[in-house]
Structure 1
């Protein structure tokens, strides 16, 4: 069994931090620092452990932030000596975010320096939230940095909806200020950076679908293979939702000459279980058609209404007069993000984002309510 994530930070992390800071500052009280941390850290979760060390840093570093930042900078790995890296630097992020607000330039400079050794994407967000224009003016310059970790920080740290991090409401409402950063990185030589750009665009698409579809259309002309992958990955939410322009950007035009037949292998599923089905396609037209086949399961909610979840299928080329068929088994099992309810559910098949066929099936509960990993199937 894998160890809990909280063990990524622990007593040894505190000791390593104390040693590094003591080497950088003659006035640092190593023993008092550890006395604040070691009696309590084992009882805390991951982020709380980082915050515990950050709070101790605040108590034992100079009150002047620039002096404290200089000490922390000296704790980072250098060309001739080792230093702190990895999860040990989470507390640095938390310290900077909490206590560097009045020193934007110094704070962002320190986060830029530490990001090659961990990441600064969580630490920079409070600065963007409070001083968006000034912060983005600095961060935009990182798109040309020779270090790919710094370039990624420019895209990942400015994501409007970065998972596990504070949301940036102004950029959720109006993302145009970060589009120049994403454009500057769209052909970055590192996949690590390009993937971040795609994820940021996908974030934006959740609130501004047409803006992202237009962005993709503008940047498809003359695109390399890597850029095409980025643009398609950025469009994944829009494609799943059947956004017409997003589909058209990748050749998935509305279809009128392809017919669909859907057949269920079983119309009753005992939870947990599998729904088997077969999809048959036929091109009745005179041209080759590119077809994106997705499907949606409409899960029954507690109040009896249905809530759809789209699942990726496959992309196919169908010649004139050709028929194709493929089978699929969809597993219904306990997961942490959904409560299942017995009753009538629905399967729908979509071609190029448009529903073309559907069938109902019944999900039945076991005699004993099923639980696992925080998921349940409830009886009524």
Structure 2
């Protein structure tokens, strides 16, 4: 993950000043001066500082402001993260001046340089029906970046952005945007649609499953994968309707052996290794969503479960599948580990099976307890 300094820094501000000056806002004094103010600031504060400099250097009236931005758009050196605070400046200046559709059109032009969904979202707070009308137009745009803008800007819970509280309460107004895009030829767009559906599932699981069901009734070859990703939170939570929609019967008849822990004592920086075996004991083929759950020890000694994907398998009657999973405890930055007994459990079509304990200890170089870390990529070795 790039740091704030790598994304927006004094060099970024200086290059943007050169672009803006050449586009008609010479001498871009505020932009040239703001670079010195960025040292030590978090990313959001850097964006705000550069945005305010853009607003200071460009004309006050929106039409002249937009002319400079469009002139910048014609320059090859207007690119990358320097465009992000410009998007924010367009949004702020337009809404201050009561400009709506023309500003959304300009943000759509900017979005292929660096997605503008953050800058679009304030327009939904100002007038959601008008903003939705523009988003529906974007679903028919030839550029996949603009089509994706339609889905991302309407997400109820877009990461790193204020929630669209109206769509959290009722996602229905934005569903036509997703209906128009779920069969999009671009994987980039479809990924956004799946993430939007996952947002909906957190507050309205019934709506998410019903929407996915409609799509599966009129699918593209890519629709099942999109739906699986879009319902991932519900699948991990063993939602029966979501599992059933994708053919995973929670009551499937299986024999499960394991998890058999091969590493009962794991140190930070090492891997938990466990084996498992699953057999279809029913008389019909079984479609299995096989996950595992690591119950992490918390500071107060209680255990907190987190579900990880293991594999998806279709097993004929009597067929058996076995494998070995390696789960890393390498020290990273997004999970705080606590030493002591942990637990691992298998989960088949949302139902728990088996459980085994293992002990987590300090790393071999004696890292103190509570080191921040997160699971690394996981690998599976199948044994047939």
**Same fold by TM-score, threshold 0.5 exceeded?**
yes
Answer whether contact 2:285 2:316 (CA < 8 A) is retained: yes
The DSSP-based 3-state class of the residue aligned with 1:357 is strand
The DSSP-based 3-state class of the residue aligned with 1:75 is helix
Q: Which residue of 2 aligns with 1:142?
A: 138
Q: Structure 1 residues 145, 256: CA separation in 2 closer, same or farther (over 3 Å shift)?
A: closer
Q: Structure 1 residues 148, 296: CA separation in 2 closer, same or farther (over 3 Å shift)?
A: same
- Give the deviation of 1:147 after TM superposition: 2.0
Answer whether contact 2:293 2:308 (CA < 8 A) is retained: yes
Q: 2:209 aligns with which of 187, 204, 213?
A: 213
Answer whether contact 1:260 1:282 (CA < 8 A) is retained: yes
The DSSP-based 3-state class of the residue aligned with 1:100 is helix
Q: Deviations over 1:192-247 (max 9, x none)?
A: 11111111111211222221111111211242211222122212222122111111
The DSSP-based 3-state class of the residue aligned with 2:139 is helix
Q: 1:108 aligned to 2:104?
A: yes
Q: Which residue of 2 aligns with 1:95?
A: 89
Q: Which residue of 1 aligns with 2:239?
A: 243
Answer whether contact 2:362 2:369 (CA < 8 A) is retained: no
Q: Which residue of 1 aligns with 2:382?
A: none
- Give the deviation of 1:176 after TM superposition: 1.1
CA distance in 2, matches of 1:140, 1:40: 40
Q: Deviations over 1:112-137 (max 9, x none)?
A: 12112222111111221232222112
The DSSP-based 3-state class of the residue aligned with 1:62 is coil
Answer whether contact 1:7 1:46 (CA < 8 A) is retained: no
Q: 1:156 aligned to 2:152?
A: yes
The DSSP-based 3-state class of the residue aligned with 1:18 is helix
Greater displacement, 91-100 / 206-215? 91-100
Q: Which residue of 1 aligns with 2:78?
A: 84
Greater displacement, 47-56 / 240-249? 47-56
Kindly report which structure 2 residues correspond to 1:180-191, keeping only aligned pairs within 5 A, or say none. 180-191=176-187
CA distance in 1, matches of 2:114, 2:141: 17
CA distance in 2, matches of 1:369, 1:363: 12
Q: Which residue of 1 aligns with 2:380?
A: none
Q: Which residue of 1 aligns with 2:72?
A: 75
- Give the deviation of 1:5 after TM superposition: 4.6
Answer whether contact 2:31 2:54 (CA < 8 A) is retained: no
Q: Deviations over 1:1-50 (max 9, x none)?
A: x974523334443343333333343xx34163345324334554544333
Q: Structure 1 residues 322, 38: CA separation in 2 closer, same or farther (over 3 Å shift)?
A: closer
CA distance in 2, matches of 1:114, 1:134: 19
CA distance in 1, matches of 2:2, 2:349: 43
CA distance in 1, matches of 2:142, 2:318: 53
CA distance in 2, matches of 1:150, 1:259: 49
Q: Structure 1 residues 271, 183: CA separation in 2 closer, same or farther (over 3 Å shift)?
A: same
Kindly report which structure 2 residues correspond to 1:219-368, keeping only aligned pairs within 5 A, or say none. 219-262=215-258, 263-365=260-362, 368=366
Answer whether contact 1:69 1:106 (CA < 8 A) is retained: no
- Give the deviation of 1:152 after TM superposition: 0.9
Q: Which residue of 1 aligns with 2:12?
A: 13
Q: 1:370 aligned to 2:368?
A: yes
CA distance in 2, matches of 1:363, 1:53: 46
Answer whether contact 2:337 2:372 (CA < 8 A) is retained: no
The DSSP-based 3-state class of the residue aligned with 1:346 is strand
- Give the deviation of 1:362 after TM superposition: 2.5
Structure 2 portions without partners, runs of 5+ = 375-384
Q: Which residue of 2 aligns with 1:50?
A: 47
- Give the deviation of 1:312 after TM superposition: 0.3
CA distance in 2, matches of 1:50, 1:85: 15
Q: Structure 1 residues 222, 95: CA separation in 2 closer, same or farther (over 3 Å shift)?
A: closer
The DSSP-based 3-state class of the residue aligned with 1:206 is helix
Give the paired residue count.
370
CA distance in 1, matches of 2:140, 2:342: 51
Q: Which residue of 1 aligns with 2:122?
A: 126
Q: Structure 1 residues 121, 30: CA separation in 2 closer, same or farther (over 3 Å shift)?
A: same
The DSSP-based 3-state class of the residue aligned with 1:111 is helix
CA distance in 2, matches of 1:90, 1:152: 17
The DSSP-based 3-state class of the residue aligned with 2:118 is coil
State the TM-score, normalizing by the size of structure 2.
0.88
